[in-house]
């Protein structure tokens, strides 16, 4: 560790004997005593070095003590140095007054009383040390503040005005230091992007739009920390320009969207190709003679029909998906009576459930929903259709509704093949079809649940699934309830 530098005292007297007397009294390892024999000599020393205090003899030939003091005060570099006059006791009062007017901080009368001399000098030495420490910590703070590459503002808690700004902040905002200091912090915010009533804690680390002096707006990540400055309680605000980071993220998003689009096209083409190939193959077979094959022709025509149905379903799903994703299919919510609506829908599906020998039970609640009726029908149809499709012959499907605080939770349960846990997170992804579904040749597009998720969320609900392989699955979704006063649709 550095030893604390010694504090310098300047002793001025034309009489060497007096100087020695002063010096021997004040002698201390913590002090460095500089002896000057005249006013001129003292002034020269003061210009070169920094002293904690000057002990100045009043009566000197040439420049006397008062004249020397006057010159010391006049110069900027030395104007603030404390001066103690050393003078004879028999001094008149005017003498003392004149000294004080010239900026003396104290008087010491001869003959010297060592205790008094030491005590007075000690007080100034202490003062000097304190000031020096303060200056050093201030310098350290300045050095850190100005050298960091991040833009930093110090903002007063009371006025929300900038009290200090470092070089990086000046560069970032394009204001001069003089302009930036005193500016209200709001002036740097780009209008329309203020985080509303958010508290300073809530906006910690968030991205906000900032405006440069030239009007250019940029996104910035802002972190704030409370600090105690000599101007009062303040916020240290660190501003990081995140333009490049945002651009990189956007480019990444674009690439990702591009990749998904290509994948989507490849998937659709693949999905279309199978039924088209089948239709083409069986048509050809019929044309080449099978049309006269009494035993098989009907089977071939049915196969063609089945694949055409599959094509139609796929195109239907694609159109629904396109409408949703392009934002054209905006929900038009109305009041819907859950019980009646669901009963009717399930009834319309009885041909399918009958064919598969799957029974459907309903356990509903009397609730009025606020939802797009077409959407609700698509969601229920998809889920019940899956519950029948992925069931086993003689299995059951159960549609239950439970009232929640401001929504209804609908569960569609089946006793079917179930979904392996590792597959569960993916079933709402478009074109995802389980290996099991393909293996069992259960028809599907892999788009149904993706559409369901879109629709449910667009209508202000959530959808999720639970399943035990080989035992069955339960799909849940929520729908907002209508306000009491709302009128139901017929």
Residue closer to ligand ADP, measured from CB, 219 or 416: 416
446 part of the interface to ligand ADP, by CB under 6 A: yes
Assess contact for 324 and 333: CB atoms under 8 A: no
444 part of the interface to ligand ADP, by CB under 6 A: yes
414 part of the interface to ligand ADP, by CB under 6 A: yes
417 part of the interface to ligand ADP, by CB under 6 A: yes
Q: How far is the CB of 324 from ligand ADP (least distance, A)?
A: 14
Can you tell me the distance from the alpha carbon of 71 to that of 44, in angstroms, rounded to the nearest whole number?
11
Q: How far is the CB of 451 from ligand ADP (least distance, A)?
A: 8
Tokens of 482: 């209508």
CA distance readout (Å), 169 to 31, 163, 331, 370: 43, 12, 47, 51
395 part of the interface to ligand ADP, by CB under 6 A: no
Residue closer to ligand ADP, measured from CB, 379 or 427: 427
Residue closer to ligand ADP, measured from CB, 65 or 395: 395
Looking up tokens 């392989």, which residue turns up? 469
473 part of the interface to ligand ADP, by CB under 6 A: yes
Q: How far is the CB of 480 from ligand ADP (least distance, A)?
A: 23
Residue closer to ligand ADP, measured from CB, 10 or 383: 383
Q: For ligand ADP, which residue of 9, 26, 125, 437 counts as binding (CB under 6 A)?
A: 437
Q: Indicate the angle between helix axes 65-74 and 39-48, nearest 10 degrees.
A: 30
Residue closer to ligand ADP, measured from CB, 337 or 400: 400
Looking up tokens 């959407």, which residue turns up? 375
Q: Which residues contact 228 (CB under 8 A, 6 or more apart)?
A: 234
310 part of the interface to ligand ADP, by CB under 6 A: no
Q: For ligand ADP, which residue of 310, 368, 375, 433 counts as binding (CB under 6 A)?
A: 433
Tokens of 315: 């195109």
Can you tell me the distance from the alpha carbon of 257 to that of 73, in angstroms, rounded to the nearest whole number?
74
333 part of the interface to ligand ADP, by CB under 6 A: no
Stretch that binds ligand ADP, among 29-37, 90-98, 245-253, 409-417 (CB under 6 A): 409-417
390 part of the interface to ligand ADP, by CB under 6 A: yes
Q: How far is the CB of 393 from ligand ADP (least distance, A)?
A: 15
Stretch that binds ligand ADP, among 56-64, 124-132, 303-311, 425-433 (CB under 6 A): 425-433
> What is the length of the chain?
490
Q: Indicate the angle between helix axes 448-458 and 373-389, nearest 10 degrees.
A: 150
Pick the closest to residue 336 from 451, 464, 453, 459 (CA basis). Answer: 459
Residue closer to ligand ADP, measured from CB, 395 or 461: 395
416 part of the interface to ligand ADP, by CB under 6 A: yes
353 part of the interface to ligand ADP, by CB under 6 A: no
Phi and psi (nearest 5°) for 236? -95, 120
Tokens of 305: 């029909």
476 part of the interface to ligand ADP, by CB under 6 A: no
Tokens of 255: 């690439």
> Within 13 A of 262's CA, how many CA atoms are on the CB side?
5
Stretch that binds ligand ADP, among 141-149, 354-362, 371-379, 439-447 (CB under 6 A): 439-447
Q: How far is the CB of 383 from ligand ADP (least distance, A)?
A: 7
392: left (phi over 0), alpha (psi -120 to 50) or beta: beta
Assess contact for 184 and 171: CB atoms under 8 A: no
Residues that bind ligand ADP (CB under 6 A): 382, 386-387, 390, 414, 416-419, 427, 432-434, 437, 444-450, 473
């Amino acid at each position: 560790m550095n030893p604390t530098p010694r504090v310098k005292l300047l002793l001025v007297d034309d009489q060497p004997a007096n100087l020695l007397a002063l010096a021997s009294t004040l002698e201390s390892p913590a002090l460095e005593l500089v002896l000057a024999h005249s006013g001129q000599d003292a002034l020269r020393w003061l210009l070169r070095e920094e002293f904690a205090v000057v002990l100045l003899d009043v009566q000197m030939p040439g420049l006397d003590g008062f004249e020397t003091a006057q010159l010391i005060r006049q110069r900027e570099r030395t104007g603030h140095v404390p001066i103690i006059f050393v003078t004879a006791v028999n001094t008149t009062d005017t003498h003392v007054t004149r000294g004080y007017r010239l900026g003396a901080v104290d008087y010491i009368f001869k003959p010297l009383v060592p205790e008094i001399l030491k005590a007075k000098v000690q007080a100034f030495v202490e003062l000097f040390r304190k000031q020096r420490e303060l200056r050093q910590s201030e310098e350290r703070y300045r050095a850190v503040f100005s050298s960091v590459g991040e833009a930093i503002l110090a903002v007063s808690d009371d006025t929300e005005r900038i009290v200090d700004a470092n070089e990086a902040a000046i560069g970032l905002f394009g204001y001069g230091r003089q302009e930036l200091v005193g500016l209200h912090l709001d002036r740097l915010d780009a209008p329309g992007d203020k985080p509303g009533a958010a508290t300073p804690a809530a906006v910690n680390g968030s991205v906000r739009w900032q405006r440069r002096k030239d009007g250019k707006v940029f996104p910035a990540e802002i972190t704030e920390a409370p600090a105690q400055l000599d101007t009062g309680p303040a916020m240290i605000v660190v501003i990081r320009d995140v333009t490049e980071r945002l651009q990189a993220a956007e480019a990444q998003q674009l690439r990702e969207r591009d990749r998904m689009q290509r994948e989507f096209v490849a998937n659709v083409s693949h999905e279309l190709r199978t039924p088209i190939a089948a239709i083409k193959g069986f048509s050809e077979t019929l044309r080449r003679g099978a049309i006269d094959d009494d035993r098989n022709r009907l089977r071939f025509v049915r196969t063609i029909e089945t694949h055409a149905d599959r094509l139609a379903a796929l195109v239907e799903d694609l159109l629904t998906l396109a409408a949703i994703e392009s934002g054209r299919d905006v929900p038009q919510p109305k009041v819907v009576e859950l019980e009646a609506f669901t009963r009717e829908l399930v009834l319309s599906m009885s041909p399918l459930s009958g064919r598969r020998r799957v029974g459907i039970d309903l356990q509903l609640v009397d609730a009025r929903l606020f939802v797009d009726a077409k959407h609700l029908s698509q969601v229920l149809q998809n889920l019940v259709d899956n519950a029948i499709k992925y069931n086993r012959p003689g299995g059951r499907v159960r549609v239950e509704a439970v009232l929640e605080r401001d929504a209804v939770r609908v569960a569609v349960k089946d006793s079917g093949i179930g979904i392996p846990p590792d597959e569960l997170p993916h079933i709402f992804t478009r074109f995802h079809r389980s290996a099991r579904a393909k293996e069992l040749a259960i028809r599907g597009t892999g788009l149904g649940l993706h559409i369901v998720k879109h629709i449910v969320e667009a209508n202000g609900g959530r959808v999720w699934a639970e399943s035990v392989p080989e035992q069955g699955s339960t799909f849940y979704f929520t729908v907002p309830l209508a306000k009491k006063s709302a009128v139901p649709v017929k």
